[in-house]
Amino acid sequence: MNLAELYKEMGRHSWKILDAIFKNLWDYEYVPIQLIASQARIGEEKARNILRYLSDLRIVQNKQTEYEGSTFTFFGLSLYSLHRLVRKGHVEAIGKIMGEGKESAVFNCYSGKYGECVVKFHKVGHTSFKKVKEKRDYGDLHFSVLAIRSARNEYRALKKLQGLAVPKVYAWEGNAVLMELIEARELYRVRVENPEDVLDMIIEEVAKFYRRGIVHGDLSQYNVLASSEGIWIIDFPQSVEVGEEGWKEMLERDVRNILTYFNRTYRMEKDINSVLDRIMQE
């Protein structure tokens, strides 16, 4: 997807329409066209034309059955969230895509305030069991709401972990999280010379997260970045607070994943229980 080019194509009315969809996402999966038109202060016929155009660009998806309504696509929600970051003065320019996976698309970007950064657009919801039960607070649990919640959860976890080996986090808007660009590669793509030290650093970091009340929940060789400068841990949308349902199982799984990787790759043996004791001591 080419966000930068499309961004330039968008006019004032298109942004107003997207504003109106965004405001009503929590109440409707498909926001009724009358509501969009009235909140955007645009006549219904004109709103319909703009929505058709936005649908051709794959920014929104329109439906005609039951009632006429529109919802964001992943691409549209990301474009709109980028717009909010720009409008608030956090981002000046969006650059190349660095990676796109099942769960997110990550772009290079430039910020006058923070320099070179990355913006991560969330694609899916990482909803814990407990949070699903609270679903009435959020209306329908459809794609946009879930992706926004994932971004929020990642932002909040990173906020609590600032100062530790995680990217500095600057802002959250919609499904987008703006953070520091880490110049390092995923652990699985590098062969480290000092695996004992690297494993130790990772465990020490997990212990520090624990002391701040956070369990990562998806720790693996894919979510650790490493360079000669050190290690960083990324990717927090599914993280939970210590004490939340399932936190202990998640911590154990995190530690097991890392130990298994070091065992397979560097033939290192470490007892999981003593590592867990070390993390949870005090």
Structure tokens at 186: 């995923």
Window of 35-43, 178-186, 189-197, 243-251 that interacts with ligand ADP by CB under 6 A = 178-186
Q: How far apart are CA 262 and CA 270, in angstroms?
A: 9
* Closer residue to ligand ADP (CB): 37 or 182: 182
- Applying the rule CB under 6 A, the residues between 234 and 253 that interact with ligand ADP are 234-235
Cβ 199 to Mg ion, closest distance in Å?
19
| 108-137 footprint of ligand ADP as x/- string (CB under 6 A) | ----------x-x-----------------
Cβ 205 to Mg ion, closest distance in Å?
16
* Closer residue to ligand ADP (CB): 21 or 85: 85
Q: Could you tell me which residues come within 8 angstroms of residue 57 by beta carbon, excluding any fewer than 6 positions away? A: 6, 9
Burial letters 162-176, b for 16+ CB under 10 A, else e: eebbbbebbbbbbbb
- Applying the rule CB under 5 A, the residues between 192 and 251 that interact with Mg ion are 223, 235
* Closer residue to ligand ADP (CB): 55 or 220: 220
H or E segment to which residue 76 belongs: helix 74-87
| CB-CB contact of 55 with 62 (8 Å) | yes
* Closer residue to ligand ADP (CB): 89 or 99: 99
Q: Kindly state the DSSP code that residue 62 receives in the 8-state scheme.
A: E
Distance of CA 158 to the CA centre of its chain: 11
User: Which residues form the catalytic set?
Assistant: 218
Which one among 101, 115, 163, 243 touches ligand ADP, defined by CB under 6 A?
101
Cβ 101 to ligand ADP, closest distance in Å?
4
At residue 278, φ and ψ (nearest 5 deg) are -60, -40
DSSP sequence for 82-146:
HHHHHHTTS-SEEEEEEEE-SSEEEEEEEETTTEEEEEEEE-S----HHHHHTGGGGSS--HHHH
Residues lying near Mg ion in the complex (CB under 5 A) are found at 223, 235
Binding site for ligand ADP (CB under 6 A): 98-99, 101, 103-104, 106, 118, 120, 167, 179-182, 186, 222-223, 234-235
